[in-house]
Chain A
Amino acid sequence: MLQKEFRKDDLRRILIWSLLCVAALILIVAGFFSFQRTFLRFSMDFYYPFLKGARDAENYAAKRLLMTKSRAELADAVERLQMENARLAVLAARTTELEAETAEQRGLLGMRAPEAFTPVFAEVLLRDPANWSFRFTIDRGSDDGIAPGDVVTTYYVPGPNAEPTIAVVGRVAETSRKSAVVMTILDPECSLSVRMAESGMHGTLSGIGDRKAARVSRLPTDGLYAIGEMALTSGFSPRTPRGFCVGYLNPASPGDSQAAKISDSGQYAEASLRPAAPLDRLRAVMVLSRRPPQ
């Protein structure tokens, strides 16, 4: 009789605990999704001083290491930078002149001025090895004028003797006051409108969860898409500047001479794209913000 009651009590206790566990699980998941944005901002700002402190210490050590170089080496570096500055100053002057000319022509044609973007330079603060190629956190946030949806770019050198260029990394997913989460063009949640440099066709770029390639879909079926053709930002969205390199088209399948294949529906063509930016080894990025810093 006693044993029977004990078993009954035991069963009831197990049942209560199971129900409590399920309720707790539901509460955690519901709470996470309901207050995600608020908690995310709080969490990111709370840990920012600790994480930024570690990054600052690293940068300080790197700067101190420069002191171990000889004076001749440092003088050479300064000279090289002065020459580079002079070259860039000439280019900037030429760009300003072209900008004024374009503004004048736009005025004559009655077209509105293009969107102006403010570059915000940021360092990569956090990266998770589990989603290394898809998301990372940077050390600039809404206080610097960054907003969700802003395009993130980086400066890179495509080859040993090639000119340095700017490539698109992805978009800002979330922001807190001091930091922001960036999703790369490989992230399935990131999408971007692109224009093919040679064929001039437009398509939609989106991540497919692959760590090396994204997919360009909704391309017109009558276009000719060469392997290695460059994809640029189309500038359709007011948040996205026009003409930045995004990546290059891969063969439709191994050994294929075409870069695009007809989609399953038969209405569009789609292609695989290799990102131009070295997404696996990013250290510094440039966010193109439309808002001035607060």
Chain B
Amino acid sequence: MNRLAFVAVGSIACVTIESLLREIGLATPLLAFYVFAVAYAVSRGWAVFSGCLFGASLDFLFGHAFPFSAILLPLLAFPGEWFRVRHMDSLLVQSLPGLLIPLYAVLPRLILFFSSLENFSILILSCASGIVLLPLIVFATERLARWLRLDAEAEGASA
């Protein structure tokens, strides 16, 4: 129950902020970063849940005809978990998925809607923001989950 609340509150905040950022022209995939962070800090299952449910709500909010986010975001749970298992906790290493996740989450929509290359500045901006934001979100989520005893290690101990 605590994990559900933790994941839901974080996801709702991410969807809201991401929507507001999109409204000013920034396509920063905050929910995608959060899904990755949940897989890293809490568990893969909760990350899939968050990506699926809140990814769909993001699609509905923007009136997408196809559920891009609901399909693409849950898959981020797997690299997130892989980073945890391999103990890749250096901020520098985590900035690499920060660069790649926007490519994965934003590029399909850009390819579908735009025919010219001029709008790829949107993608460059979101990749640049990802390098900084992903390590920060992972760090904050992990600290918060550990403080609330909701992290993956606590789950293993309780089991």
Contacts and interface: CB of A to CB of B under 8 A. Distances in A.
B9 interface: no
A109 to B, nearest CB: 43
B71 A129 contact: no
Nearest to A124: B23
Contact of B60 (A44, A127, A128): A44
Contacts of B114: 130, 211
A189 B110 CA distance: 18
Interface of B: 12, 15-16, 19-20, 22-23, 25-27, 52, 56-57, 59-65, 67, 70-71, 106, 109-110, 112-115, 119, 122
Given A29-B71, A129-B26, A130-B106, 4 more contacts: A28-B67, A32-B56, A32-B59, A47-B61
Contacts of A183: 63
A213 to B, nearest CB: 12
Contacts, number: 85
B22 A128 contact: yes
A182 B33 CA distance: 29
B22 A137 contact: no
Interface residues of A, number: 34
B27 A50 contact: no
B22 A126 contact: yes
Given A32-B56, A32-B70, A51-B20, A129 B25 contact: yes
A160 to B, nearest CB: 26
A47 B57 contact: yes
Given A43-B60, A51-B20, A130 B109 contact: yes
What 8 pairs across the A-B complex have the smallest Cβ distances? A181-B63, A130-B109, A43-B60, A32-B67, A40-B60, A43-B57, A50-B16, A128-B62
Contact of A137 (B16, B62, B71, B115): B62
B109 A137 contact: no
Residue in B60, B70, B115 with the greatest tally of chain A CB atoms within 10 Å: B60
Contacts of A32: 56, 59, 67, 70
A60 B159 CA distance: 51
Contacts of A211: 114
Contacts of A125: 23
Given A25-B71, A130-B110, A54 B59 contact: no
Contacts of B56: 28, 32, 39, 43
